[in-house]
Amino acid sequence: MPRARIDRRYEQRLAGLVNSGERAVLLGGRKGVEKESLRVTPEGRVSQRPHPRALGSALTNDHVTTDYSEALIELVTPTFTASWELLQYLTDLHQFVYRHLDDELLWATSMPCALDGDASIPIAQYGSSNVGRMKTVYRIGLGLRYGRIMQAISGVHFNYSFPEQFWPVLADVLKTGDPDQGFRSEQYFALLRNYRRHGWLVHYLFGVSPAVCRSFVRGRDDHGLVELSRGTLYSPYATSLRMSDLGYRNKSQSEISISVNSLDDYVRDLQRAISTPSPEYQRLGVEVDGEWRQLNANRLQIENEYYAFIRPKRVARSGERPTKALQRAGVEYVEMRSLDVSALDPVGVNQHKLRFLEAFAAFCVLAPSEPIDFGEQDEFDRNHVIVARRGREPGLQLRYGQRDADMRTWAAEILDAMQGVCELLDHGDASKPYSSSLAVQAQKLADVARTPSARLLKEMQETGESFFDLALRMSKTYKQYFTELHEPDEPRLAEFEAQAEASLEAHERLEAAPQKPFREYLADYFAP
């Protein structure tokens, strides 16, 4: 018989939390968001202008930076215990950015449009310092390995850490002794494994990229999409093409297997991928005629090249590799990376979504999480891709324990199990916000038309708009929204202005400092 997807041990652990006397045990978890958006012209073309100087240095500004492209702005919030504070900060960041965009827009969807091949995606530039050169060369390598168009996809990353009072209670429930850092890392990796098992649900509930512009797949005949309207291709039951085999889950990394069974296994596998030469990437060359094409010719240039649904994280010291930070002090928080930018929300995300993800993290850490072998890992990863491509398909079957599993039945089991977690998170709040957010998600399971992907397709069908037309209209709508928003938080906007100016000064100091030869800098960075 296959293992139960959610067995009695989960209920026992949840009961242990409830009976601990610490009803506020889950309150106060730290939440942060990283939200990416392409800068585009009023006509919807990817901007070719440099990152606006008024926003500060993309290299040294902690809250307004760039991702792959010079045109791909990334807004980074601090962490908050209340999701409304996080969303207010993100709103303020949008207001600040729009004050300095002139006539440009922030693209309202994850999937880019109106692309004229790789050449239309400018690679982010970070200056002449070694750390800045490294960031740019890494991106040159990504473009050569996977194509620039894939790197122009935008997303929302949700960062979460459990509150301090949670760990001793959980240790007592699990009867494992001291809740030290080793224990915390073990539990975060249990969360990672369960996210691999059950995280396809995030695509179903929140995926909002069921269609793409024809320009996104120009020159490809293996996309498997059909025409929705002129210039628009889609998959009829798709939820998140961004997270499908057309996006981040492409075949380019299919031979890379990174274990999430333990911190040691995870670090070992990542370091092996970073140090193992790839014949394919060796053919690209590393430094050719004095021009750097990639940081190295290994299977991964650096850890962040591995496209994972979720990552264990630790704030690194200056010049410290992510795996070294994890080895030094263990897991500090997790980064959930599956969220599309929502064209249905001005800031690309909403409170219901954040509350659900917080509760989902608690569910994933409490549910039994056995080690995953590579066969199971492939099975679970395929489930993610299937739901991303076909999540709204009636009667959709996934795989669990080498057996078919009805997706909707499995989803209902998860949502039902999460009710107790939401009740704990609702402690002291008569409005029961987490239970209410869970109910909103249950409605999407009961009625597929309520899913964001279905709503987006319906709007295009009713208006007759192409995906490009809809995305451009929403981008213009949100620019107007943020520029006309009443009562902006002027002290906070002044704080952002000061941060931008300070980042420019920090950038200048960095570039004025003596620099060792770039090749030597890289050798030191990658040294064991």
Q: pLDDT tens digits, residue range 496-508?
A: 999 999 999 999 9
∠ CA 422-427-430, rounded to 5°: 100
Structure token pair of residue 513: 């400092």
Helices of type H across 330-373? 351-366
Closest among 294, 296, 244, 288 to 111, alpha carbons compared: 244
Bridge-based pairing state of the strands 156-161 and 333-339: antiparallel
Would you say the C-alpha torsion 468, 472, 478, 479 has a positive or negative sign?
Answer: positive
Q: What do you get for the CA distance between the two ends of the chain, in Å?
A: 45
What pTM does this model have?
A: 0.96
Would you say the C-alpha torsion 58, 63, 68, 69 has a positive or negative sign?
Answer: negative
Contact 333, 160 (CB under 8 A): yes
Cα-Cα-Cα-Cα torsion 439, 344, 244, 162, nearest 10 degrees, comes to -50
Contact 392, 400 (CB under 8 A): no
Helices of type H across 367-432? 374-390, 407-425
Q: Catalogue all structural domains in the chain, each as residue range(s) with its CATH number.
A: 8-526 (3.30.590.20)
Q: Which DSSP helix (H) or strand (E) runs through 322?
A: helix 322-329
Output the tens digit of pLDDT for each of the chain's 528 residues: 345 688 889 999 999 999 998 889 999 999 999 999 999 999 999 999 999 999 999 999 999 999 999 999 999 999 999 999 999 999 999 999 999 999 999 999 999 999 999 999 999 999 999 999 999 999 999 999 999 999 999 999 999 999 999 999 999 999 988 999 999 999 999 999 999 999 999 999 999 999 999 999 988 888 999 999 989 999 999 999 999 988 866 566 777 889 999 999 999 999 999 999 999 999 999 999 999 999 999 999 999 999 999 999 999 998 899 999 999 999 999 999 999 999 999 999 999 999 999 999 999 999 999 999 988 999 999 999 999 999 999 999 999 988 999 999 999 999 999 999 999 999 999 999 999 999 999 999 999 999 999 999 999 999 999 999 999 999 999 999 999 988 888 899 999 999 999 999 999 999 999 999 999 999 999 998
Query: Long-range contact list for 477-483, CB < 8 A, 24+ apart?
Result: 477/108, 478/94, 478/106, 478/108, 478/346, 479/98, 479/101, 479/105, 479/106, 481/346, 482/91, 482/94, 482/95, 482/98, 482/346, 483/95, 483/98, 483/99
Closest among 399, 144, 84, 113 to 294, alpha carbons compared: 144
List CB contacts of 7: < 8 A, sequence separation 6 or more: 368
Closest among 308, 454, 283, 496 to 384, alpha carbons compared: 308
Q: What is the structure's pLDDT at 1?
A: 31
Closest among 366, 367, 364, 359 to 419, alpha carbons compared: 359
What is residue 209's DSSP assignment? Answer: B
